[in-house]
Amino acid sequence: MTSSLHHRRTRIVATLGPASSSREVILSLAEAGVNVFRLNFSHGSHEDHADRHAAIREAEARVGRPLGILADLQGPKLRVGVFENGPVFLKEGQSFRMDLDRTPGNETRVCLPHPEIISAAQPGSHLLLDDGKMKLRVVAVSEGVLDTKVVVGGKLSERKGVNVPDVTLPIPALTEKDRRDFDFALSLGVDFVALSFVQRPEDVQEARDIADGRAWIVTKLEKPQAMEALEPIVRLSDAIMVARGDLGVELPPEEVPVAQKRAIAEARRQCKPVIVATQMLESMIESPTPTRAEVSDVSNAVYDGADAVMLSAESAAGRYPLESVEIMARIASRVEQDDEWRARMDKVRFTPEDTIQDAIAQAAWQVSCTLQAKAIAAHTKGGRGALIMARERPHCPILALTPDINVARRLCVVWGTFPHVTEHERTAYGIEELAAPAAELAKTLHFCVKNDRVLVLAGRPYGHAGSTNTLRIVTA
């Protein structure tokens, strides 16, 4: 049998960047356990991303298992203008004006080249500058002008970011740059497209219309407004990312863990994968080992049942990208050997929908526990059957068998699911013809040994999406 690292349920997403763009490093990261690679379109050219995409596909062929590729769009970046004489220092209690005048700013004013903010803000609204390091309160609004009072001061440099946590801004989630990047990412054939700064369900629907089934839409939760509309946003998304960086700027820090747990629970309830991201092993940008607090942070996401945990700068620009992946895999694998982790997965289970697929998945969970099955082989055309089975958090791994490589790559982000591309797509197969080969494959892939029990899920007739209606128990 292979090690527990190979059969780790929690998936790992790793961001590529200057520290991890060579073919050798990408292959080593895949071999260390990365399931999905993230291309951050906030940085790099289209040529850079195309080269990394090709390198991932080469690594996929080398490691012999599907790898997902996620294109993360930048989204609308709100920034202040420039200053005449370099950075200024804002003092608590002072007045500070923000306006549409493009003239370089000074200690008393600066250009805010976003009329949407000025038109939406009201007296009492707050503006956060430079990732929340400074805080302004709006005291008056006039034509093209916000007069503010400095609540928390500090050094303000030009083009620093602006967050408006308590206002829903009338701006689209997709900028013109995002639309160009979106089209390019789809032309590459990425498996996921992540949306930044989503505020409304309509933002997700717009992206779904553009993707038109060519990629899964991953909605990043980083605005309080998105948390307020969590249920409909999750419903329209294919997957969710808890992006704790900007979410932690716009929400009080003590609210972020609560939001994270809410998002994980809601996503699991709706059978949608959820990724926990940002600063998970931040110190490993410079250090070969993480802090104990970071290890606990990753562990807590695993205990909560997150489908995936993500590395950002740790793997993109840090000194230890490979070590970051290795330690993240070790943390997740260790937690998954804990009886308390198993008890939590069993405790948080949801009432199935009134569908045959849901009923079969719930039955498979019970049967697999009773018989101590070593694997559940789920034949799936579009991936839905594997998603429903994964929501149950079974005690044994899910071997997702699909004839579609694109479906297999998308399932790389799903908890406990090990996608494998089958060589056939005939529709004449019955469960009898599917069961024995599935058990043999589970044995070949080291999920079980001879005489172990394996559950096989399939639909009759075979090959129709959403038709899982049969459960068969076989002996390997």
Average pLDDT over residues 122-144: 95
The DSSP output letter for 411 is G
Q: Which amino acid is at 476?
A: A
Question: Who contacts 42 (Cβ-Cβ below 8 Å, separation ≥6)?
Answer: 72, 74
Candidates 88, 69, 70, 92; CA nearest to 80 is 88
CA–CA distance, 309 with 14 (Å, rounded to integer): 9
Catalytic residue of the set 52, 220, 272, 393: 220
pLDDT, tens only, 211-224: 999 999 999 999 99
CA 251 to chain CA mean position, Å: 19
**Residue 469: its H or E element:** strand 468-475
Cα 408 to Cα 322: distance, rounded to the nearest angstrom: 24
Mean of the pLDDT values across residues 55-61?
Answer: 98
Residues in the chain: 476
278 is a catalytic site residue: yes
225-353-265 Cα angle (round to 5): 35
Beta carbons of 148 and 138 less than 8 angstroms apart: yes
Establish whether the linkage from the previous residue to 461 is cis, with ω within 30° of 0: yes
Mean pLDDT of the chain: 93
Question: Is the pLDDT score of 64 beyond 70?
Answer: yes
Alpha-carbon distance of 290 to 292, in angstroms, equals 6
Question: What letter would DSSP give residue 161?
Answer: B
415: phi then psi, degrees, rounded to nearest 5: -50, 130
For residue 352, the model assigns a pLDDT of: 80
79 is catalytic: yes
Retrieve residue 347's tokens: 């405790």
Q: Is the pLDDT of residue 5 over 80?
A: no
Integer Cα distance of 153 and 135 in angstroms: 7
Query: Which residue is catalytic, options 23, 79, 344, 460?
Result: 79
Q: Which two tokens stand for residue 85?
A: 């004489």
The pLDDT of residue 1 is 34
Any idea which residue has 């500058």 for tokens?
129
Alpha helices in 37-101 (DSSP H): 46-63
254 Cβ contact list (under 8 Å, min separation 6):
none
Radius of gyration of the chain (CA): 24
Cα separation values, 94 from 130, 151, 153, 338, Å: 18, 8, 9, 54
Contact 312, 15 (CB under 8 A): yes
DSSP E strand boundaries for 370-467: 375-379, 398-402, 417-421, 453-459
pTM here is 0.93
Residues 6+ apart with CB under 8 A from 293: none
Q: Is 23 annotated in the active site?
A: no
pLDDT, tens only, 222-280: 999 999 999 999 999 999 999 998 899 989 889 999 999 999 999 999 999 999 999 99
What pLDDT is attached to residue 460? 66
User: What whole-number distance in Å separates Cα of residue 446 and Cα of residue 52?
Assistant: 31
List of residues 6+ apart from 283 with CB closer than 8 A: 290, 291, 294
Residue 450 bears catalytic tag:
no
Exactly one of 148, 278, 402, 470 is catalytic; name it. Answer: 278
Picking from 421, 382, 371, 424, the residue whose alpha carbon sits closest to that of residue 399 is 421
| CB of 301 closer than 8 Å to CB of 276 | yes
462 Cβ contact partners less than 8 Å away, ≥ 6 residues apart = 379, 426, 427, 428, 429, 430, 434
Helix pair 201-211, 176-188: axis angle to 10 deg? 40
- List % helix, strand, coil for the chain (3-state, nearest 5): 40, 25, 40
Of residues 9, 38, 244, 409, which has the active-site annotation? 38
Instruction: List, for residues 405-438, the tens digit of each pLDDT value.
Output: 999 999 999 999 999 998 765 554 566 678 888 8
